[in-house]
Amino acid sequence: MESPRGAALKLRYDDTLRAFTVKRALPLGLTYPFDWGFIPHTVAEDGDPLDALVIHDSITNPGIVLTCRALGVVELSQDGKKGKRERNDRIIAVPLWHDRIGHFVHTPDIPRRLREEIEQFFVSATFFTEKNPKILGWRGPRRATALIMAAEATYSNSGSAKKGVHNKNGKIRGRV
């Protein structure tokens, strides 16, 4: 976890400090609806580790490692650092141990209203940045798994890693 459910600050893991730092405050009144973090040993199109939102009804702490199953992905584009549009897709996952909020297998199992609120959160959380996010849609677990594997390959090809965190059963291991 980087920013736990209920946090009003976006935290970021700093590899140099080996600690979490505050990146920015969310807009007034906005908090993370679920735990927010990243899948370690991945590099997404935007150059950062692959983002993940973990749906469950508990609150964790920064640095907690959750073993999760990918439900799908919210595909999103935004203005990039080099002035061009870039993808910044977000994996939607559930912890393997969750059992109180229902059994979700893939994104269509998430109630429509909740999916819409998650989309609105992604847009609202970056309101005061220059990212100009656009939701492109939701895709299922196969697309999420392919995205995770591609981001792991990008990380591995960067010479930084020898081992990924995703296995063939759709489980994500690592700091999410």
Domain residue ranges of the chain, discontinuous segments joined by +: 9-157
Give me the pLDDT at residue 106, please.
76
List, for residues 123-152, the tens digit of each pLDDT value.
999 999 999 999 999 999 999 999 999 999
Binned at pLDDT 50, 70 and 90, residue 161 comes out as low
List, for residues 95-129, the tens digit of each pLDDT value.
998 767 667 777 888 999 999 999 999 999 999 99
Tell me how far CA of residue 14 lies from CA of 18, 21, 113, 115, 119, in angstroms.
6, 7, 34, 30, 27
Binned at pLDDT 50, 70 and 90, residue 172 comes out as low
Give me the pLDDT at residue 158, please.
85
Pairing assessment for the beta strands 85-87 and 171-172 based on DSSP bridges: unpaired
| CATH number of this structure's domain 9-157 | 3.90.80.10
Residue 176 has pLDDT above 60, yes or no: no
